[in-house]
């Protein structure tokens, strides 16, 4: 979570070097607001179409399901003595 947060902040602040503080704050606010609006629209669209998981997560789950089908499980139980 921290890495994603840091990467997001870096993306927002990328083009704001050497600006006055008030411009930096305004730019940060504007870009974060735009990002939240974009993510909100994407989430609303997903919910509207009945999609529960994101496309990335769905693909990861499908890949994992394919791998799981090839696993071999050996059962070990208690030995009677």
Q: Is residue 62 part of a domain?
A: no
Give residue-wise pLDDT tens across range 26-80: 888 898 899 899 989 988 998 898 888 888 898 999 999 888 877 777 777 766 6
**5-40 pLDDT tens trace:** 788 777 777 777 777 888 888 888 898 899 899 989
Q: How far apart are CA 52 and CA 18, in angstroms?
A: 42
Residue 74 placed within a domain: no
Residue 46 included in any domain: yes
Asked, for residue 10, whether it belongs to a domain, the answer is: yes
> Residue 63 falls within a domain, yes or no?
no
On whether residue 58 sits in a domain, the answer given is: no
Phi/psi zone of residue 19: left (φ > 0), alpha (ψ -120 to 50 degrees), beta? beta
In a domain, 11, yes or no: yes
The pLDDT of residue 72? 79
- Name the pTM for this structure: 0.49
Q: What is the pLDDT of residue 11?
A: 77
Number of domain units in the chain:
1
The alpha carbon of 62 is separated from its chain's Cα centroid by a whole number of angstroms, namely 17
Q: Which domain holds residue 40?
A: 2-51
């Amino acid at each position: 979570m921290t890495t994603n947060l840091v990467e997001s902040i870096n993306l927002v602040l990328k083009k704001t070097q050497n600006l006055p503080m008030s411009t930096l704050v305004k730019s940060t606010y504007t870009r974060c607001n735009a990002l939240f609006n974009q993510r909100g629209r994407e989430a609303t669209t997903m919910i509207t179409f009945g999609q529960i998981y994101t496309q990335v997560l769905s693909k990861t789950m499908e890949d994992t399901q394919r791998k799981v089908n090839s696993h071999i499980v050996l059962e070990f139980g208690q030995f009677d003595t």
